[in-house]
Amino acid sequence: MARPVDTAAPSLVDDVSFLLARANALALAAGNAALAEHGLKARSYSVLVLSLAADAPTQRDLAEFLRLDPSQVVALVDGLETRGLVERRADPSDRRVKVVVATPAGRALAARAHVSAGEAEERAHAALSADERETLRDLLRRVAFPGADG
Amino acid sequence: MARPVDTAAPSLVDDVSFLLARANALALAAGNAALAEHGLKARSYSVLVLSLAADAPTQRDLAEFLRLDPSQVVALVDGLETRGLVERRADPSDRRVKVVVATPAGRALAARAHVSAGEAEERAHAALSADERETLRDLLRRVAFPGADG
DNA sequence: TATTGTTATACTCTATAACTATA
DNA sequence: TATAGTTATAGAGTATAACAATA
């Protein structure tokens, strides 16, 4: 840029929260671009991946894990269900809850999308070595899940 | 939570981009809550802090640095200018560009808001030691500004 | 009474294009 | 012809409240 902001004087570049926001914006843009060819975005990809788990999540679980309002999860699951990628299954023990589980088509798409997402992440974090990426992953995990203790 | 998502089976918790998104969501929520008492949000706080620089940024600079569209910067600067926190000054050498510079009131508010934001960040990253936080800052800086080379 | 999923609604944020004034 | 700032607008994302079914 012709007239760059002085990155030394303001404390913004030393603000971890700001760096977090900017790094996330870059990774999100790269991730969404990579997932677009599969008809997915970061949100729907996350729901799809979580629905692969052996212990399938309820919509409430998804909302808590992804920090979304339950009403937003409805729309995300609707979109995936319409495409035949996930199914809603009533829980026999509590008929209020609905468990979200990936279909075979959903599992296949998730596998392909995972490759694309991995490539995008590779490019987004090209500035870091493998060791540094591992360190970043561990530190972020502890910040993102404060109560985990592990 | 009563029925937690299995955090081992899905690869989402090993996905740096996902951890980045969740860590950012937590830090953003904490930051916005802390800044609210000053009538600021993360966005407006960022503009205000950048306008403190000796080499005051143009609106174009702000847009690039914050990864916002120039039209969004207009609204942010409008809000701060209405409150008397920043001023738009025409650049004599190029009368198209407008430089954004904090007023004394803006500087004073920025100082108070900086304290609140720092406390929020302290709480948000309480899981990390001082050394670890410094490591996180360095790694994020390189991911957030890929072209910096140092 | 409390909780899960759902619907509806309003608000914010984001992206895009067009306009003006300067260069 | 190109660029900085501005305006307008539509779309996506987000937050909130209320509702039905079930516990």
pLDDT digits (tens, 9 = 90+) for B117-138: 999 999 999 999 999 999 999 9
Q: What angle do CA A112, A113, A118 make, to 5 degrees?
A: 105
pTM over 0.95: no
In this model, does residue B38 exceed pLDDT 90? Answer: yes
Q: What angle do CA A84, A90, A94 make, to 5 degrees?
A: 155
Question: Which pLDDT value is given to residue A3?
Answer: 43
Query: Which residues does B36 contact at the CB level (< 8 Å), separation at least 6?
Result: none
In this model, does residue A144 exceed pLDDT 90? Answer: yes
- pLDDT tens for A51-95 read 999 999 999 999 999 999 999 999 999 999 999 999 999 999 999
Main-chain dihedrals φ then ψ at residue A101, nearest 5 degrees: -130, 140
Yes or no, beta carbons of A145 and B22 under 8 Å apart: yes
pLDDT band for B6, please (50, 70, 90 cuts): very low
CA distance B49 to B116: 13
Question: Please, which residues 93-112 of chain B have a Cβ atom closer than 8 Å to chain A?
Answer: none
Residues B39-51, mean pLDDT to the nearest whole number: 96
Question: Which pLDDT value is given to residue B149?
Answer: 59
Residues B5-27, mean pLDDT to the nearest whole number: 79
Mean pLDDT value across chain A: 90
Residue that wins the pLDDT comparison between B150 and B52: B52
Question: Which pLDDT value is given to residue A147?
Answer: 77
**Residue A81 token pair:** 């269900």
**Residue B44 token pair:** 């407006």
Gap from A97 CA to D17 C1', Å: 21
All residues of chain A having their beta carbon less than 8 Å from the beta carbon of residue B132 are 139
Report whether A117 contacts A42 (CB < 8 A).
no
- pLDDT tens for A21-58 read 999 999 999 999 999 999 999 999 999 999 999 999 99
- pLDDT tens for B55-68 read 999 999 999 999 99
CB under 7 Å from any atom of strand D: which residues?
Answer: A 2, 41, 43, 68-69, 71-72, 94-96; B 58-60, 63, 70-71, 73-74, 77-78, 88, 94, 96-99
**Residue A103 token pair:** 């279909």
CA distance B149 to B129: 26
pLDDT over 90 percentage in chain B: 87
Gap from B29 CA to C11 C1', Å: 17
Residues A111-132, mean pLDDT to the nearest whole number: 94
Indicate if CB(B96) is under 7 A from strand C: yes
Residues A118-134, mean pLDDT to the nearest whole number: 94
